Amino acid sequence: MIINKHQGIWPDKDLMTAGYAINQVDNKLVGVNILGDTSQQIESAIQAIIDNYNPLPEAQAEATEMVNMAAGEARTRYVTAVPSQDATYQMKLEDAKAFKLANYPEANLSSYPFIDGEAKALASTGQAAADFIIDTYNGWLSLAAYIETTRRLAGEDIKRETVWSNCSVIANAAINKLDAI
């Protein structure tokens, strides 16, 4: 009978590479080779693979991916995630800063296309549009830093972890922080 001491994490890739699989028959785990044959020798070989398997790297990779995905989801709750939108946000910010630096020249609003467009969209002045863009950026900056710091801290904690089952605990704590934003 095959026993997995890793509580649900299986060395699937290692078993497949060696030409083995595990099937459940009558509530027992039975080892088979690529031809579907079973024997004590096959089960012993499978058990050796399981016993020598280190689930830590797989658990670390999975936990890190969970945190990265949660950070991405947290970001997209606040920014538009479409191709080139980040470049557009950057150009809007540069336009807003230039408009402000020039003392908000309302008469030359058409020289600042992103400010002109934002003012029209908001039905406001160029100054209000530029200030809105800058304020939005400043708010996003602190939020983005919090998301990235949470992601990086969790990633480093996961990387340093030596007990595979703790990786998901670290990931879930970070995910809960990100979900709470």
pLDDT attached to residue 3: 84
Q: What would the two tokens of residue 160 be?
A: 């340093």
Residue 4's pLDDT is what? 81
- Alpha-carbon gap, residue 72 to 151, rounded angstroms: 10
pTM comes to 0.78
Question: Which pLDDT score is estimated for 152?
Answer: 98
Quote the CA–CA distance of 43 and 61 in Å, as a whole number: 28
What pLDDT score was predicted for residue 42?
Answer: 94
Block mean pLDDT (10 aa), the chain, length 181: 78 92 89 92 94 93 97 94 93 98 98 98 98 96 97 98 96 98 94
In whole angstroms, what is the distance from residue 115 CA to residue 132 CA?
10
What single string gives the DSSP state of each residue in the chain? ----TTTT---HHHHHHTTEEEEEETTEEEEEETTS---HHHHHHHHHHHHH---HHHHHHHHHHHHHHHHHHHHHTTS--STTHHHHHHHHHHHHHHHHHTT--GGGGGGSHHHHHHHHHHTS-HHHHHHHHHHHHHHHHHHHHHHHHHHHHHHHHHHH--SHHHHHHHHHHHHHHHHT-
How many CB atoms are closer than 10 A to CB 2? Answer: 16
